[in-house]
Structure formats: C-alpha cells, structure tokens
Chain A
C-alpha cells in the first residue's frame, strides 16, 4: 500500500521529562520517527516539554514546542499549527494518555485532526484492563485470573477468592507505578490503596500471582494491510515478579524450544492483529517453566523501552518503520536500511547474544530499599553484545559504571551459608552476585533455582564464570586458559587481580599469545546478506575481524545524514563537507565517547551533546566513530556516526577500538563524566585529546592547582581545602567554621556531596564517600549562602562566547541539577553580569579551554564568587542552546577543529538577552523509590527536567510547574513545617498562600510563628503524637502541597522524613526549599497566565 497522501503535517507528541519508567528511549524513538517522517516530505510539528532531548531540535522537526504536555497545550498547538494528523505512539505512556484525553473530550473531532499509528479504540482495548481481557478472551489468549477493582474491599474479596499472593497493577500508570505483589491482606490494603490513588482512572487490577514464571517478551510490527512480523523476542533472567525494566534481559530467548518460541510468537501476532495495531507493539508473557501454560501479562500498543532495546539488539529500526507504517506504507515496501537489500517485512535473525542490565539508583538513594518488584526503579540501562552469554553478561556488568567489573564486585564473605541461603531469596539488584557467591561456596544449581526461580541455564552460566575465576586464581595462565577467560570477557584487570599479576603483565601475556579482540557486525540477518551499516561489537573468539575488513574496503564513505546537514546549517557553516585529511592523506577519524547509562546526574543531555558533536565533525569532513553502550539513546542508532561500536566504556574496551581504528583524535568533553574519566587512558594509548588539554582539565579539578589559577585570575571562591581523611576534614571544618560543603572531586551530579554542620556529619558523609575506593581527594569548602549562577561558554583559547546567564531560584546548597533555572537571569545588576562575563573569560584563558566550559558562581551582596569550573559540556547545554538559538555544541566542535568565535561570525562575550523567559524545572521520580529521602541538597536527585518558556517570567514559571506535573489548586489545603532559621521567610510565603485561599496546617512551632504574623493557620499534631496528626491529614487525600523546610545536618534530616515520604507516596507535591516555595506561589498568584501562549522554538534565532 503506498503512502497516504492526505497526510501532510503531523504533530508528534514526545514523552516529557525523564522519569523512572519513561526515559531516553522515547527521545530515541521520537527522533528516529521524526527523521523518518521528514524523509517522506512530511511537515513535522513536535511537542515535548523536555528541553534536553534531541527530538526538540529544530533540525529534527519543523516546528518545535517545548511546552507542558497537557490537553490544553496540545489543543493550543493544534489551533496554531493546523496539523492534519497526530502521531501519539512514540511518546510512551504520556503521549498515549494525552491522545486518549483528547479523544474523550471530543477534541479530535472538533479540531479536525486524526490519530495515525493507532486509534483510540486500539489504545483503549490494550490499556483498559477489562476491554483488554475481553479482547484476549475473544481470541482465546489466556490472561491470569484477574479483576479490576475501584475500592479496597472489592480487592480483598477477590484476593480471597483467587488466593494470595496477588499482583496489583494500577491502570494507566508508568513503569508499573504504584503496583506490587501482596502476600497477605495487610500488604494488599496498603498497595491497593496507594495504587487506586495513582491510577488516572482510579482502577487497579488484582490478579493471580504468576511470580516465578518465565517472563518472555515479543516485539511485534503490523502494517495497515495486516502484515505482521516479530522483530525480536527477549527472555528476562529475573522471572515474573520483577518489572522487566529492572530485570536482566537476554535476547533472543535462550531456554525456549521452537515449540514454545513459536507458540508465543503466534500468540503475539494474533494479539496485535486482534487489537488492530498499526506500528510497533510489545507483548509480555508469563510462561510456566514446567508446561506449555502461559498467560499474557500486558500489551503496550506503542514503542517502548523494550522496543528500543529490540531495535539496538537486532538493528531493526522499529520507530522508523512504525512512522512509515503510520503514513500508510506496508512492511514489504520499506527497505531494511542495514542490509539495503532486504525489506522491513522480514524477521531479524541474531547470531549473537544480547544482555541488558538495569542501572538502579541505589547509589544515590542510600536509604532506599534495594528490593525489586513490579514497580520499576531503574533510571537507565546498558546493553552488551557478544557471541556467548557469559561474555555478554560480563560486558554488561562493567558497562554499568557502578564500581562493578565482575561477579566478585560485591562482598558477601561476612554472611555464613545460612544467611547466604536466605539472601538468595531477596529479589534485589545484587542477586546475580549473591548467586555467584553461593556457587563459589558449592551451593547446587538446582538449589539456587529453587530459591530464585531463575532458569538453571542461566545459573549454570554464572557457575561457568565462577569456575573461570577459580581457574584463574589457581592455574597457570596458559594460552588456552587466557584465551577462554577472554572469550568469556574477563577484563585484564580482573584476570590480573585473580592471578596476582599486574594488568600490564596480563596485557603483555595476551599480546604474546596473540589473543586480541575482533569485531563482528550487527546485520539483522545472521550474515545471510551483506550489510551496509558498520555497527560492531567485539568478541575474543579468535575469528575474523569484520571491522578491519570494513576499514580496508574501498569507497565506503557515505554521505552526511540529513539531520547532520541541517544541524550544521543551523550552526552557520556554509561550505559543503570536504574530507578532512591527516598527514598520510587519509580521511581524519575522530572518536566520540558516549555517556553510558542514564543515571541521576548524567542524563540524555550528554547524549544530545555527543550526537551534535558527531554531526559537527561529519560536517567538517571527519569520519566519526561512536563508542557507547546505552540502548535507549540516539547516539547508538546505527546511522548517527559513520561507525558505531556497541561496547563498554572502560579503558580496555576502548583500547580495542583504538588499536583497530587509530583515530586521529578523541573528544571527551561531550560525554559527561564517563568520557572525561577515560581521558588519561586515551592519552596513554597515544590518542590525541581534541579540545582542552587533559592537563588543564586536571587544573580545574585539582584543588591546589585551581587555587593558583584563581589567584592568577584574581577571582575569589569560598575558602576550603583538599583532604583525604575525616580527621583532616574536621580540622579544616573547624578552621572554616560550620556549615561546610563536603564532596569528592571528579564527580558529576554532586554525587556524595553534603552540607555538614557538625563533626558527626563529617564522619557520616566521609564514610559514605569511602564506600568505594577513592582515588581522588575530598574537597571541604566553607558553605556560602547566596544566589547561584551558571554559565556555559564556548572558548577558542582567546575569546569566549556565553549564550546567556542562568540564575537558580534555589540558593546555593541545592544541587544545580535540582534547582529551577531561569534564563535570562532576572535579579542581577549589569555590573554583576559584566563581572561574570569577565571572570568566565579569565578562567577560560587561564585554563586554556578549547571548546566547552561550564562555570558556577555564587553571587552574594553583589560579590561574585566561584564554586566550580567544569571544562566540558554540561547538563544545561541543550536547554540554553534551544532558548537562545545558539547551537553551542557545533560551535564548540568547530572551535576544537581550529575555528575562532570571530571567524564563525559571533561577537565574543555575553550574547544579547532574549526577550522572553525560559525556566528549566527539575522533575523527580521519588514516588518510584521507596524510602528515598526527598529533601533537596547538594547531591542531585532529579531524574529529568522540563521547560517553561514565555514572554513573562510568571507565565514561564507557571508553564514549568505545569510541565513538571504540579497542577494546583485542587483542595486548597496545605501543610507547612519549617526550621527556625527560615521561619521569617516562610511567614511571607504562607501569607501569600493564605491570600489565594489556602488553608494552612502546621505543627506547633510553625503554627506559632504564623499566628504571630496574623496568618490564619490550623495546628496539627506531629506524627508521633495522638491522632489526628499530620499523617492522618496526608492520608486523608485532601492536601495539595507540603512545604517542609528541614534543618540541615544529618540528625535533623530524619525528622520530617516520614512525612515527606508519606506525602510523596500519596501523590502530594512536596517542596523542601524555601525558594522553590516562593517561586510556586509567585506562579499561582498571577491569574493572567491561565491562557498560555505557544512559542515555536524552531523560530528562535540568535539575536
């Protein structure tokens, strides 16, 4: 079926801020789909509230709206742009929910637009529990006995009927939010009540527990003509009971015979056919391990995290094909871009094994329970490819960047066998390490299977790895042993540790035996057809090296991608790309290091930077090579760089690529801390670091050296010192006076950073920091209260370009990533702005920065102090690029290649301010992580961000709050508790809330302060006192907002912990910073911003 020519202008809805359960995969899918639509000459209108995404670039879509994802906004955008169609299946659950709301409110008909890619009927049949069950019953597909309940008593009754344990799944939530497994009535009551509240429609599904069954997924595609295929199937190593997003997943399935494989495949095709989905769809199954009995767990009628994984695992571009199908094409009309020979209507065949591991945030939330269940907790994930399972698992482990490099990375030696045996029952993120320890102690595979229900095949593989550990420890390192260890992907460092040798010795030994990595191609077809696309993974199986063959193939250079071209046009480059040549006359190659898994503190903004840097290098005539291991990202799409190596980002893995490619240089300043950390290793390999010199990077990180630089620049900073021990830290703190800021050097996202007000705090914090081997020193600084200011700058060694100054609403002490950031800074005098510009310039010149730099300042009483300088790209780069229209990353890349700010047509220095405000708002996922403390502080906790942009500050702020999901007022009730220190400021805020009609509840101290200021407030008992107390109030579901400003310091922070958690878990907004509260009331007070104006980001040009 050819393209539907009535589709000319399509509105694509993105997924909004990154939260747990809805992460970068939708940027990947959305970007791929937009490019696919543009390829077809479709005018694309994009709506997404997330400014860090690649999809919200003007070279990806024709019209870009970074606005809150609400029905009103979609309506406004439709009225302004008049698209003929909406494509809602690429924005995850958020996009689908919006589409449903539009349909329910009759807006689609009213506005004359239609949904493409899916119909509202399809969404309803897949998402509505009852309709889904009926659809499955109609075609004879089994689902677990279940019932939708809208209240707790009904749930209790049904659970009694089907027997405990039961699984609870709220309807229309993300990542299984609010769901769980209840083993008894008490647990049921708790989880069910919570789930009912979290569900958009107040419905929770109670179903028979199938925990312990195998969890299998199929990714299916269907076109409008009814052709159906499966792209990939996947097997979760963790059986049913752990959310698939938190499970270790392998593709293809390993323990299913053809009969089971085809049974489920046929079922998946029947389901997608019955639901009438056109595009991609994900079907999850529970398969009983000892029979053919199975049941359908759920169906996602859209692209999902699993489909991103399936795309990267197979090379089949699901989102791209889904977009083409939405336009009317059939599968047999769409070419497979990897082979260039086959069509999208074929099923990928793998000749390797893929392992995905979740990146869990327990290193950030150390108070949180590590246990895993049906509520997803992972912030991101890594994927690895190898031609044996052991190797794929080992590669995935070391890709996590969580201080793990093997199955020996957690120490359970303190547990006796009995304790270990019980520990096996715990379903948490360390389970495979516990299994490895059990195997080391001689537990049987069968016994471990019984305890974990993990298929014996996987346990045997872990046993195989454990056996190799032992062999390396006890046997001489022969050629054969070393070869086998490398085949199983033991890193040299781990082999060295086991064999009692140095890493260099192992490397030399390996070279002597000629054991080296070779690269294989991901080609979708198990080598049946020749592939065109260089997408590689490494193995140590001694076979041939396809990457080497590819490199020596003549005439292989392809033309630039369209996106790269338009990206560069935006940057103002005029000449067409001519191959840049090195002194041997060969085209120059640049290695771009990706940023690994999405984690708190290092999100998609670094993928944005990596991708734009890659495109800029392509435009400059370079051959580009990306190494990355994150399946959710745009950078790991096979058509972004000239070559993609899907590999862990460790020195050894990177060296394998370097030895083969011999790049002319590497850029590390765009890949976050992951890439920066590789700088030294790259230099040792003889790879030139492009841009700022590694030594200068060190000068910015090293306390003493940085102090020298500051002195030379004549810039002051809060006093402080570098220490290694708690004793030294306490001495420094005594000298400076509390409070002090304690933090490790060389980290991103303020990991381990704390404000200490006492010696006890220091002991506790340094203990936390030293949980992991600490090679770098700890910084102790005087904590200085003031306005926090941030700039990103491009520096060419002489001149700087500052797109704009960003001001944080929250004062210093709250991590910049968790602060509301405003551009342009609205409270700074021209003199202060001048000083900031001048300081930035001096720092850039003295640190010899070539490329990107991020500087954070504190402004106090018009004095400007420096907090830190990061000579690399930062979190704010995508946001500031978009709101100023200045493409910083391409500019920085061109500077790295030798251009100057002047030669690129820019006036050096601070650029003119825009005539509207842009507010970047952090978004948290606290409700997903049980027991995580929500108090904001110097350590970053937000998972994503959204943007509000408007002509006035108030509207921008209002939009930003709206985008972050804060929609007030509802009940006009709020709770305020405040530490003494902030009470004076709080009184003013409370007065304003009271004035707009809020009833304020407070505990004694705050109440007293409010009463003294003549603010009507009602007193309520503290939690530990008799009912009715604060907790009852929160659980009464009538509270809009909790403002809780805790005391600093470790002992005080526990006070409000229970309140804050209870509020978060019942869906109440919690604010823990006085400035955030101030901003919120400001946005609520202004009634004029109710009617929102829409700003097309693509039309913003630099001024």
Chain B
C-alpha cells in the first residue's frame, strides 16, 4: 500500500495511505460531521474545489449504491478519512468505496487522524491543502506552500452546472427508498391539497451524460443517464392534479431538490447556471428554484445580475444554500466567509416565525449577513441555534423565501422537507391570485 500526504497551507504534513486516484490536487480542506451519507457527500456538487474530511472514522461500511448519487459524479477534490471499511455490507451495495474513488479518479487518504485535523480546521479556520502521493522533503514542502495558499475556487459553478436545459423527471414510482420527501413531523403550517402523488414518467434520471468528466465511464444500469431532448415541459400528467412548473437553476444542484419537487407533483425544468432571466421567464414557470452550489457567492457576478431580474419578476422563488446567498447579494445584501463553515447533518435551525427548531442538513462555507438587508427588503426567517448565523430570509412584499440549509436532505435529516410544500403552496396561491386578477380584468 502506498502512502499519501496531506500538506496544509500552514506547513503541517499528515501522512496516510493512498486510496483511489494518485493524482495530486490542491483545494480547500473542509470537514463534514455526518455519520452516514458519504456517497451523497462525494457526489454533492457543492464540494467542487474542496477536499472533504469525514469526522466519522469508519467510512464505506455500506458500500456504494449508485442510486444514492446526488449528481452524475463526485465533484470534490479529495476524500480524507480515518479508515475505509474492509468489506461493504448492505443489500443495496453495488461496489466498494475504494473502487468508486478509483473509477472517478478521486484521490483518497485513509489513516489520517481526522479528529486532530478537524480540531486544527476548527481552531485556525478552513485552510487550503494539497493531497499528494509524493513524499516531499521539508524544503520542498516549504516551497509548495505559496502555491497552496494561493489556491482559490473560482468560477466553479460553471464547471458543475448542466450544459443544456432539460426536464428533470425522476421516476418517483421506482424510487427505492421511502420517506425521501421529508418527514411528517408537525408541519408548522396546515398542509392543504397540493401534496400529490409523484408523477410517473418513462424518463428517468438527470445525470448529465455530456459532462466531459464522464467520457468513457461505465455506469451501472441502475444509474443510467438520459436527458430529455426537447428542452420543453412535457404535457401535464393526465391524473387531473394541478402541476406546477418549476424552473430550477442549476448552480450545482443535488438531485434530491429536483426529486423533492417532482414528488410534490411539480414539473421541473433544469436550466444551466448561465441562463438569462429572460430565457427562464419566457418559459412562464409557476415558480423558480435556485439550487445549491459550490464556491464563493461573490464570484458569481453574472449570475447575480440574472437573479436580480428574477427578484424583480413576480414569479415565486425558493432558494437553497448558494441560491439563498445569490438572492441576498442580488437584493443588495452581503455575504461573508465563515471560519470553518457548517457541514453535517445535525445543525439546529430555528424558524423565527414559529419558534420551532428543526435539525437540518448543512453544507456551506459562506453566510448571508442579515443586517446587510433592510427590513423593507428582507427579514431573517431562520437562524442557527448554535452560532446565531442566518439560515434563511423572507423577502418583503415578494413571494421569495430562501434557506441556507438543505431541506432536500440526502444526506441528513428530512425534517425541513415541508419547505417544499410551502413553496408549492406559494405557487398555488400566486397562480390563483393571478387567475383572479386576469378574470377580474376580463370582467
């Protein structure tokens, strides 16, 4: 077994065992405290440009089930763990994590004191680091440090977004796991109608086959990739239910955002991050969903301009994570980098309207400064119980609400899945109001 090294920007060198790719990469090093869901972490595009340290020491126990991938491939730069399981054991497991890393050319390191590393990142804040299999001499390491420090994730959204718009049509009926649309735990608002059975469709999956990184990759048959070619919303499913048409802006979306909408009866069209607001609005969506994504929101200047136009439009908007930050920036607010971010599945967020606390799935290094937005523009809707940072905004006089955490879960708790219901209700209400307005005019 060959060695691998993690060189932190402060000169610390940690030695471990190389697993997966032997590529040398420089990235930001962040830690995630989830005890399950490593595959979801690996394939969450928000980690693009980052090396992820798992604080739970035993990784790979239940193997790899391709159905659980949150995007078409892993996007993170490197994967740092204490110990990889000798064998995977789970009825759904199709492969080992070791093979998975190799297949997708992701460098992994095992045998690292991940707790010590986490404590360093907690104390000193997120750092850059290099993962390599080369045993550099101390002098060479010193020489590498400026390069490591200089690393910045930039324009990373354009790398992870889809190339063309397509309809997301996850085949809900065949979804192999239950409960994925959120828990039944006391919704804070009365749910009415709108929670319909998933629409069935012959199309399946949203993995972007055109991604260059996937060239030549053999997929398991359960994760086949197909993009609906038309780029138009299909006809309404014939079960008589109301279907809202959601435009989902893909900044690096996790599949379960699309799935959560589809399972609530929405028709979801996914747009590349660079799509102009005009183009989206031209398709007359009932609502717009801004997805999660990687990197510093302030790097997304062009996108922010388009989001501003969406803000000015009358269409209901629900935004998650990066989408939440971009909306804040578009509305004139500010974002800042957290010392070491929130990544894990145990963060309590408080709904400021009801006082209820929900355990949420989180993955972000930046946060919205709620004071940067005046109350006439937006008010905080959620805050983090631990450190008080902003976890969501509600836009005054608008049908826009945004959250920092991940109601789509995967990995993590499903407690805030009700937010998708809220979005559906919002679209329903706006549609009804518009219809009333139109009929009023006609009369």
Contacts and interface: CB of A to CB of B under 8 A. Distances in A.
B55 A349 contact: yes
Given A266-B185, A349-B35, A255 B122 contact: no
A14 B358 CA distance: 33
A258 B68 contact: yes
A269 interface: yes
A1047 B292 CA distance: 80
Contact of B61 (A254, A259, A291, A527): A254
Contacts of A542: 113
A460 B359 contact: no
Contacts, number: 185
Contacts of A230: 359
A588 interface: no
Given A256-B36, A350-B35, A543-B115, A526 B55 contact: yes
B409 A526 contact: no
A476 B316 CA distance: 70
Contacts of A655: none
A228 B179 contact: no
B356 interface: yes
A343 B386 contact: yes
A508 interface: no
B194 interface: no
Nearest to A227: B357
A120 interface: no
Contact of A255 (B37, B90, B114, B186): B90
A1082 interface: no
What secondary structure prevails in chain A residues at the interface with B?
Answer: loop
Given A346-B347, A347-B359, A464-B86, A527 B385 contact: no
A348 B357 CA distance: 15
A320 interface: no
Given A261-B36, A269-B415, A387-B82, A332 B87 contact: no
Contacts of A444: none
B348 interface: yes
B12 to A, nearest CB: 12
B386 A349 contact: no
A75 interface: no
B129 interface: no
A290 B89 CA distance: 11
Interface string B82-98: 11011101111000000
Interface in B65-87: 65, 68, 82-83, 85-87
B381 to A, nearest CB: 16
B87 A528 contact: no
B91 A332 contact: no
Interface in A254-311: 254-263, 265-267, 269-270, 273, 289-292
Contacts of A228: 185, 415
A262 B385 contact: no
B357 A258 contact: no
B346 A349 contact: yes
Contact of A346 (B55, B62, B359): B359
B178 interface: yes
Interface in A313-371: 330-332, 341-343, 345-353
B240 interface: no
Q: By CB atoms of chain A within 10 A, which of B65, B122, B385 has the most?
A: B385
The size class of the interface chain A forms with chain B is 35 or more
Given A342-B386, A350-B35, A528-B33, A456 B179 contact: no
Contact of A460 (B34, B68, B87): B87
A424 to B, nearest CB: 18
Contact of A526 (B56, B58, B86): B56
Given A266-B185, A269-B415, A526-B56, A346 B386 contact: yes
Contacts of B65: 257
A252 B91 contact: no
B182 to A, nearest CB: 8
Contacts of A290: 91
B293 interface: no
A410 interface: no
A855 to B, nearest CB: 50
A457 B348 contact: no
A262 B359 CA distance: 12
Interface string B143-178: 000000000000000000000000000000000111
B33 A266 contact: no
Contacts of B356: 225-227
A347 B35 CA distance: 11
B410 interface: yes
Contact of B115 (A253, A266, A353, A387): A387
Nearest to A274: B184
A292 B183 contact: no
A332 B357 contact: yes
Contacts of B216: none
Contacts of B39: 257-258
A90 interface: no
Interface string B106-126: 000000011110110010000
A255 B410 CA distance: 17
A292 B178 CA distance: 8
B57 A351 contact: yes
Contacts of B177: 259-260, 263, 292
B78 to A, nearest CB: 19
Nearest to A272: B185
A529 B344 CA distance: 13
Contact of A541 (B58, B113, B358, B385): B113
A591 interface: no
A389 interface: yes
A341 B386 contact: yes
A520 interface: yes
Contacts of A259: 68, 177, 180
Interface string B311-355: 000000000000000000000000000000000111110100001
A111 to B, nearest CB: 33
B21 interface: no
A229 interface: yes
A388 B33 contact: no
Contacts of B176: 292
B20 interface: no
Interface string B176-206: 1111100111100000000000000000000
Contacts of A982: none
B87 A457 contact: yes
B40 interface: yes
A291 B385 contact: no
A258 B38 CA distance: 8
Nearest to A339: B386
Question: Which of B176, B178, B347 has the most chain A CB atoms inside 10 A of its CB?
Answer: B178
B62 A255 contact: yes
A719 B6 CA distance: 72
B68 A345 contact: no
B258 interface: no
Contacts of A226: 186, 356
B128 interface: no
Nearest to A336: B386
Nearest to A289: B91
Contact of A331 (B36, B57, B62, B357): B357
Given A265-B413, A351-B114, A388-B58, 19 more contacts: A227-B358, A252-B56, A257-B68, A261-B35, A266-B183, A341-B386, A343-B385, A343-B386, A345-B357, A349-B33, A349-B55, A349-B345, A351-B55, A389-B58, A455-B89, A456-B87, A460-B89, A527-B55, A543-B113
Interface of B: 31, 33-37, 39-40, 55-58, 61-62, 65, 68, 82-83, 85-87, 89-92, 113-116, 118-119, 122, 176-180, 183-186, 344-348, 350, 355-359, 385-386, 409-415
22 contacts: A254-B58, A255-B62, A257-B36, A257-B37, A258-B34, A258-B36, A258-B411, A259-B68, A262-B36, A263-B179, A266-B184, A267-B179, A273-B184, A341-B386, A346-B347, A346-B385, A349-B35, A350-B56, A353-B58, A457-B89, A526-B115, A527-B118
